[in-house]
Chains A and B, each alone.
Chain A
């Protein structure tokens, strides 16, 4: 094993390697602006709750765990609530962590709702975590989440 004459070879990158590293770095710098991040989602959640950290309970997000396409993803959200008195969901917000923006929808319920549940279809740009946060009449917040895998993201398809 004496092929390497120097035990600590100094690494001198070629011009080509420098350019490659430069573009790689630029791509890394650009990437975060193209999508929301976990931090941005957390910020959006705290903006909805007015700074209160929601308790992980009572809220269910129902999405097929493995999705062929992210363009139109059937999504069901529901909250365990009597929808009477203080045990009443006034609104329910849906967030994602990897689309260009963290917000998806805010559902508003009423005394006529009867149940705190809604179904819709959403776009998902990547495999990611979807979070639903319920705002109760008494000022408390609850949340639920689901991780989904998307094989063909919404943004990859032509509208």
Chain B
């Protein structure tokens, strides 16, 4: 973790029934500097946004998002996944500076 990339919050059910479609919510602290905003001297503040988010289940992509400056600060994403088996979810964010943030969560499917 470096630069503007902050703490990540992830919410998903710890357990799910096989075949259920579950909701996964992920948010990361980041100013999402648009590159259109002037500072107190009137100069534009350089753009630095989270431009890519990915969620993988056992190495396979579940959901991904390309983000633009019109996404709010501390970008929040909610999406769905069909629970077929227990396994590990990986959450990845990348910003304009190249900083990466990664989180892991387990889900038990019965």
- The answer to whether residues A100 and B60 also contact, given A120-B76, A120-B77 and a CB cut-off of 8 A, is no
- Chain A residues within 8 Å of B76, by CB: 119-121
- Chain A residues within 8 Å of B70, by CB: 96, 99, 101, 103-105, 122-124
Beta-carbon contact of A108 and B63 below 8 Å: yes
Interface size on B, residues (CB 8 A): 30
Chain A residues 106 to 159 lying within 8 A of chain B, measured CB to CB, are 106-110, 112-115, 117-124, 155, 159
Chain A residues 56 to 108 lying within 8 A of chain B, measured CB to CB, are 71-73, 96, 99-101, 103-108
Chain B residues 14 to 57 lying within 8 A of chain A, measured CB to CB, are 21, 31, 33-34, 36-37, 57
Beta-carbon contact of A112 and B81 below 8 Å: yes
> Considering the chains assembled together, what is the distance between the CA atoms of A159 and B45 in angstroms?
11
Interface size on A, residues (CB 8 A): 29
- Chain A residues within 8 Å of B67, by CB: 105
Whether, in the assembled complex, B78 has its beta carbon less than 8 Å from a beta carbon of chain A, the answer is yes
Beta-carbon contact of B81 and A104 below 8 Å: no
> Considering the chains assembled together, what is the distance between the CA atoms of A109 and B36 in angstroms?
30
> Considering the chains assembled together, what is the distance between the CA atoms of A49 and B70 in angstroms?
20
- Chain A residues within 8 Å of B82, by CB: 112-114
- The answer to whether residues A108 and B31 also contact, given A100-B36, A159-B73 and a CB cut-off of 8 A, is no
> Considering the chains assembled together, what is the distance between the CA atoms of A105 and B75 in angstroms?
11
Contact of B34 among A100, A114, A119, A121 (CB under 8 A): A100
Residue positions of A touching B, CB distance < 8 A:
71-73, 96, 99-101, 103-110, 112-115, 117-124, 155, 159
Residue positions of B touching A, CB distance < 8 A:
21, 31, 33-34, 36-37, 57, 60-73, 75-82, 84
